[in-house]
Amino acid sequence: MIVRIEYKKTNSLIFISTLDIERLWERILRRADLNLKYTEGYNPKVVKDFSPAIPLGVFSESEIIDFIIIEDLEIDYVLSKIKKVSPFDLFIKRGKVINEKFASLSSLTTHIEVEIAGEKVKNLNFKELELEKNIDGKLKVIELNRFIFKESENENGKMLILDSKVSLKDIMNKLNKMGLDFIITKKNNLNLQNDKLISIFDLN
84 lies in the site for other proteins, by CB under 8 A: no
Among 3, 5, 29, 184, binds other proteins (CB under 8 A): 29
Over the window 120 to 159, marking each residue x when it contacts other proteins by CB under 8 A and - when it does not, the resulting string is ----------------------------------------
Closest distance of CB 61 from other proteins, Å:
17
- Please, which contacts does 27-30 make with residues 24 or more away whose CB atoms are closer than 8 Å? 28/82, 28/85, 28/86, 28/90, 29/67, 29/82
CA atoms of 79 and 96, how far apart (whole Å): 9
- Please, which contacts does 54-57 make with residues 24 or more away whose CB atoms are closer than 8 Å? 54/9, 54/18, 54/168, 54/186, 55/168, 55/169, 55/172, 56/14, 56/15, 56/16, 56/17, 57/14, 57/15, 57/172, 57/184
19 lies in the site for other proteins, by CB under 8 A: yes
Over the window 50 to 79, marking each residue x when it contacts other proteins by CB under 8 A and - when it does not, the resulting string is ------xx----------------------
CA atoms of 157 and 105, how far apart (whole Å): 28
Q: Count of residues binding other proteins (CB under 8 A)? A: 30
| Cβ-based nearer residue to other proteins, 57 or 77 | 57
179 lies in the site for other proteins, by CB under 8 A: no
103 lies in the site for other proteins, by CB under 8 A: no
Q: End-to-end distance of the chain based on CA atoms, in angstroms? A: 13
Find the helix or strand (DSSP H, E) in which 131 lies. strand 130-135
Stretch that binds other proteins, among 29-37, 61-69, 97-105, 158-166 (CB under 8 A): 29-37
33 lies in the site for other proteins, by CB under 8 A: yes
Closest distance of CB 167 from other proteins, Å:
17
Closest distance of CB 115 from other proteins, Å:
16
In this structure, which amino acid lies at residue 192? L
* 22-to-2, 19, 28, 45 alpha-carbon distances in Å: 17, 5, 10, 11
Binding site for other proteins (CB under 8 A): 11-13, 15-17, 19-20, 23-24, 26-31, 33, 38, 41-45, 56-57, 85, 87-89, 183
